[in-house]
């Protein structure tokens, strides 16, 4: 765990759960697997508090426990799960687009509570929906359960494993009842698939019986007829046009879709690894372009395409004057986007008689960029907290005023009195509040955007590591 990741985890834990949980969580991330007493001793907190903190963390699937030899139970935190907390808003949004408000509320409840039983979720969501609906109507429990079952089918929610009650040698916490938890890995597959692919996804989810997270599967083949059958009705695409689209997709130089045979009118495959590689490369290129300029981006893409290239050839191919090309190459080299490969002509490696070739190693560049992303998000969160702290006095005042107004409205006060109270907040102060709100929103939105980059890069790195 790098420093940047640990810092980010600590900020997230603090924001969502408070100081004590943060202390315990960060300690576990830093030191790995530890038993209860050692945690209490090292962090200097009372056993009671440690237990409560661990409870919270386990409930939210951030810490797992295991029984080791001699019957000691050790707790281990998973840094990657903590970092997923950044993505919660995106999960909720995705569910909202696919399953409308009911789905959104279900996912929100589950994310807030970590784990819940199905009946508890359904009850809570139905009650919340009833509140917001018109008077006299109530939300049907069956409808909520229906949505819940659909979510479970498409692996948005997943059942927790339950500890068997017959296990008496387990001195750990008592066995949890069958509860449900969000299966996070699947959530992010949905935004990536194209419009045609939506049909495909539903078909393949029926085939996928084992509940294996889809991100792990390298490709799945579907044939022409299945695709045609599973297209949403409103599209109005005839069979020939569909054929042509599929051929175009398969021929595209980006190679997202491949054709693997002709049985059944053509078998098509999605090359997830290639797709991820292209997306990661595009991310790298975009970063180079924004940071160094479009000429640098040209050189970068050139080196990517040619794999290994000499400095003189860079000038020739990219049609950029020699001095500028040299400058840009060195800048990118110093920022670790590129690396040099030496090929000596003579056994004594003399610099004047060696070839120096520039090359881009996508995996290492992706890792470097990922690290930068983590630090950026940590910076953004810190700035947001700083801005809020700066204006704390103002925020408290506005909260008090709102509370007074609300209570006066409840007791039926006059217009004039309400006006007076509102004027307690002067115009410039109101302005300040507005700016503060806007800034905080902007910082929040920016965090989510950087998280998108993190998602791409992480998926690419994971996919490449699995293949090796």
Burial 193-210 (b: 16+ CB within 10 A, else e): eeebbebbbeebeeeeee
Least distance from another protein to the Cβ atom of residue 169, Å = 46
Least distance from another protein to the Cβ atom of residue 332, Å = 14
Tokens 């050839």, located at residue: 313
Task: CB nearer to another protein: give 183 or 283.
Answer: 283
Task: CB nearer to another protein: give 128 or 375.
Answer: 375
Least distance from another protein to the Cβ atom of residue 295, Å = 9
Least distance from another protein to the Cβ atom of residue 138, Å = 42
Task: CB nearer to another protein: give 113 or 289.
Answer: 289
Task: CB nearer to another protein: give 166 or 352.
Answer: 352
Least distance from another protein to the Cβ atom of residue 115, Å = 30
Task: CB nearer to another protein: give 451 or 462.
Answer: 451
Task: CB nearer to another protein: give 56 or 85.
Answer: 85
Least distance from another protein to the Cβ atom of residue 301, Å = 5
Sign of the CA dihedral with 371 first, then 376, 382, and 385 last: negative
Task: CB nearer to another protein: give 319 or 406.
Answer: 319
For binding to another protein (CB under 8 A), which residues are involved? 240-241, 244-245, 247-248, 253-254, 278-279, 282-283, 285-287, 289-291, 294, 297-299, 301-302, 305, 317-322, 369, 372-373, 375-376, 378-380, 382-383, 386, 439, 442-443, 446, 448-453, 456
Least distance from another protein to the Cβ atom of residue 220, Å = 22
Task: CB nearer to another protein: give 114 or 265.
Answer: 265
């Amino acid at each position: 765990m790098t420093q940047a990741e640990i810092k980010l985890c600590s900020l997230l834990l603090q924001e969502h759960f408070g100081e004590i949980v943060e202390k315990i969580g960060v300690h576990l991330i830093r030191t790995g697997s530890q038993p209860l007493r050692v945690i209490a001793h090292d962090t200097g907190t009372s056993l009671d508090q440690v237990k409560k903190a661990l409870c919270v963390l386990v409930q939210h699937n951030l810490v797992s426990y295991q029984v080791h030899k001699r019957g000691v139970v050790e707790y281990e935190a998973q840094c990657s799960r903590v970092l997923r907390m950044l993505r919660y808003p995106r999960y909720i949004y995705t569910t909202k687009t696919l399953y409308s408000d009911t789905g959104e509320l279900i996912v929100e409840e589950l994310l807030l509570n970590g784990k819940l039983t199905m009946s508890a979720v359904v009850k809570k969501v139905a009650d919340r929906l009833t509140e917001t609906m018109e008077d006299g109507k109530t939300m049907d429990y069956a409808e909520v359960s229906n949505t819940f079952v659909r979510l479970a089918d498409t692996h948005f929610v997943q059942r927790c494993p339950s500890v068997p009650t017959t296990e008496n040698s387990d001195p750990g916490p008592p066995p949890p009842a069958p509860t449900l938890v969000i299966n996070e890995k699947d959530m992010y597959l949905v935004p990536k698939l194209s419009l045609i692919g939506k049909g495909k996804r539903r078909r393949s989810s029926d085939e996928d019986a084992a509940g294996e997270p889809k991100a792990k599967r390298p490709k799945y083949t579907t044939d022409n007829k299945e695709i045609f059958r599973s297209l949403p009705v409103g599209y109005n695409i005839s069979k020939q046009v569909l054929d042509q689209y599929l051929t175009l997709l398969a021929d595209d130089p980006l190679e997202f879709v491949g054709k693997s045979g002709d049985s059944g009118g053509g078998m098509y495959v999605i090359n997830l690894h290639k797709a991820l590689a292209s997306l990661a490369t595009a991310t790298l290129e975009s970063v180079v372009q924004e940071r160094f300029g479009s000429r640098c981006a040209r050189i970068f893409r050139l080196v990517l395409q040619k794999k290994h290239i000499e400095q003189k050839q860079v000038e020739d191919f990219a049609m950029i004057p020699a001095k500028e090309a040299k400058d840009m190459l060195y800048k990118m080299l110093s920022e670790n986007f590129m690396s040099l490969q030496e090929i000596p002509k003579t056994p004594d490696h003399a610099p004047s008689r060696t070839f120096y070739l520039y090359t881009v190693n996508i995996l290492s560049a992706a890792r470097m960029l990922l690290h930068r992303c983590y630090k950026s998000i940590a910076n953004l969160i810190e700035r947001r907290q700083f801005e809020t702290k700066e204006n704390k006095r103002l925020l408290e005042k506005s909260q008090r005023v709102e509370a007074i107004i609300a209570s006066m409205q409840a007791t039926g006060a006059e217009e004039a009195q309400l006006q007076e109270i509102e004027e307690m907040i002067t115009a410039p102060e109101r302005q300040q509040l507005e700016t503060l709100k806007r800034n905080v929103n902007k910082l929040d939105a920016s965090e989510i955007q950087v998280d998108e980059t993190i998602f791409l890069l992480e998926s690419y790195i994971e996919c490449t590591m699995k293949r090796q």
